Every structure is written in structure tokens, then in C-alpha cells.
Amino acid sequence: MPNVNIKVPATTANLGPGFDCLGLALGLYNEFEFRQIDSGLEILVEGEATDIIPRNEHNLIVQSALVLCHKVGRELPPMRIVQKNYVPAASGMGSSSTAVIAGLLGANALLETNLSKQDILEIATEIEGHPDNVAPALFGGLVLVPMGMSPLHV
């Protein structure tokens, strides 16, 4: 299985009257590499917040991948994840959304489940509790996502 490389943008949902329903992808990205290995779980973290990110099954990327695995009735394969953080943590720029989207896209690719972006968005929204940051992290650009409705990509 080849490496899966994913680049997920920082986001903001603090857009005045669009607060919590408009989200905007920014020009700053976290990068992730997923590689299937023989056994276990390896997580390497570079860049921002290296001292606070778990390198085990409590990592948000892994937690998100496990949610997808549960949804599709599959086991998480042994993998190495390289997480390159450029989006500052706890900055209001969606660093957790980058991890959620990366975990879901990485698992989707490694398991070859071929879930649609809409499916990924629904799972990401379940994990995050709201779509305002995960939608632009997944789709890019400016996204309108009223709760309970499909996203409108602008």
C-alpha cells in the first residue's frame, strides 16, 4: 500500500453574522502522512504543539479514524502517522478540525472504503459536534453549513 499524503487547511468560523454557520479555509495547512506497517501504531509529530499531542490511541487523528472504522465495520490497520503541524493549537484556527479530517480521509484511503465527502462531513460533524470548521477543512473555500443541512460550497 502506498503512502497516503493529506494536506488540510486551517479554518475560521468567526465570521460575524455567519458565526457557527459560515466557515472559511485559510492559507495555512497541517500535513499528514499515513503508511500501513506490519504491526502497531506509530505517531510522529513535528511543528506546533508537539509537547501536548498524544502519540497513542488517544490522538485525535487515531480517534477519528477509529470512528470511521466502527461505521464501516472494519478494524484500523497497523499504521505510521506523520503529523506536521503548522496551524497553532488553541488559536481558533481549526487545528482540531485538521486532525479530524485527516484521520477520516486517511482511514478512508487506507481501508479503500470510498466514502463520499458528504459521508466524511457527517462523521466529522458527529465528532466535532458542529460543521463550521470541519466543512471548510474538507471542502476548502467559503462554506455555508446550517445545522441539519448539506453544505453549500461558495
Q: Which residues of the chain are modeled with pLDDT < 70? A: 1, 19, 147-154
Q: Which domains, ranges and CATH numbers included, belong to the chain?
A: 4-153 (3.30.230.10)
d(CA 104, CA 15): 26
DSSP for 20-85 reads TTEEEEEEEEEEEEEEE-SSSEEEEEEETTTTTS-SSTTSHHHHHHHHHHHHHT-PPPPEEEEEEE
pTM value > 0.85: yes
In 3D, which of 135, 154, 42 has the Cα closest to residue 145?
Answer: 135
Can you give the pLDDT at residue 147?
61
Instruction: State the pLDDT at residue 16.
Output: 77
pLDDT of residue 10: 97
Q: What is the pLDDT of residue 153?
A: 53
Tens digits of residue pLDDT in 30-67: 999 999 999 999 999 999 888 899 999 999 999 999 99
Note the pLDDT of residue 135.
Answer: 94
Instruction: Find out whether 101 and 124 touch, Cβ atoms under 8 Å.
Output: yes
